[in-house]
A and B are shown apart, each in its own frame.
Chain A
């Protein structure tokens, strides 16, 4: 399988605080890849470096075959149209309706007619599980789950190959969170997406994620499938998967295996 994201010896330093010492990870095509780690371990920083919002202090990042260090302005622009980003709080443009939010990329970069744009936008809203009539509302009139779904529709409007999610289920109730997880797996199999996400949600990790990287002390302390990660002995992994909810899930997993 093709390697979509490669990070090699990435170092990040803010002032005299070192966030990443030496981060190495690889995301392959079609994977749902999670980045885990305690608070302050630099998960969001890592994600921001992948989507070119932040430059690492050292090391190399390669995304879809482009080295972010040496990328030209034009290539960067092209790269940006190949990925979608879902921010933690949706980051919908407050002055635009949901429909306009989703349409904004199409209006800016294509010469499509209004009717076709409206058609595409309404279908995409339906795709993420929203009633297309929600499109007329403003972001301030939406519930948390609807904001996330609208933002996902906006991230998916240009048919990206790669999707970045920053805590996709945080702030959602368990039912909506589960529905959102299901939506993500569905979209992956439908559109052949590669998904990189930051998450703390035990359920998401057990149900959705194929591979994960655990950040700690400025490096990746474990990378691989859930089983592989659980084998590693590290204080964060022990603590994170030591809670009651996670324990029950691990028990269930073992039962299933035997």
Chain B
């Protein structure tokens, strides 16, 4: 198929009054790419033909895709000149009759019009409208979550403890390693960079304040929040997305379960409990990282 000389697929022979196009080889979807480009090359040469003869004698086999191409090709040739098909193999004939039944002429893709020039403006408008709806949806999400919170406060027994515990585990406990690693590294980096500067002024001891204030007040909460937002946020999206596809959400709605109380609030509550604990943990690890550098770089011991 692939080692075949592509000239064999389409070959033309001119005589005075007619052009004979010889088709040959295996016409299949794999070889159709080279057949098509060959045909495009041949087409200008026969543009002035008065009569066209399609000789199919050497076609070994043809599949449906190639037949669809053949039918299109034939109707194109018919527009140029009177076209006759000769030496049709039996198998080819059978395939032709079959494909003819479902062959659909292609529609012409719309050419560029004035409307298509306005396309970018249209897109900006659509984007703006969708942002507006996103904001409305976000506000309604906050509102409905708040209602779910108040409902739960009114009837504390309806609080989904098990669901919340599972979410505390998945967003809190399993996030410990990555939070530890990043806050440890931040602690080290901050301590090391400030140690270099502080040493110049002989203010070594201030590294303690540097680490002790910047880590718990700024860096640990920030790092932890970014990690949890990225990690658990995408996990929640995936979980709820799957629940939506498997129609779990719809099942809850039809059973009269308020999804904000069942799906949303346990996750928010889990975050509210897990996040401060994680931050506290990140504080400790971050300060420990700074402490190591202070000891090694500036010889300041903790005790």
Contact = CB atoms under 8 A, between A and B. Distances in A.
Interface string B86-116: 0000000000001100111110000000000
A114 to B, nearest CB: 8
A6 interface: no
B236 interface: no
B214 interface: no
Interface of B: 28-30, 32-34, 36-37, 63-65, 68-69, 72, 98-99, 102-106
B99 A158 contact: no
Given A112-B36, A113-B36, A123 B29 contact: no
B106 A122 contact: yes
29 contacts: A106-B29, A106-B65, A109-B30, A110-B29, A111-B34, A111-B36, A112-B33, A112-B36, A116-B32, A116-B69, A119-B104, A120-B65, A120-B68, A122-B104, A122-B106, A123-B64, A123-B68, A123-B102, A123-B104, A125-B104, A127-B64, A132-B104, A158-B65, A159-B28, A159-B29, A159-B63, A159-B64, A190-B98, A191-B64
B106 A115 contact: yes
Nearest to A126: B102
Q: Chain A, interface size: which category?
A: 20 to 34
Given A159-B28, A190-B98, A191-B64, A119 B106 contact: yes
Contacts of B30: 109-110
Interface of A: 106, 109-113, 115-116, 118-120, 122-127, 132, 157-159, 190-191
A119 B64 contact: no
Nearest to A113: B36
Nearest to A156: B64
Nearest to B37: A111
A123 B103 contact: yes
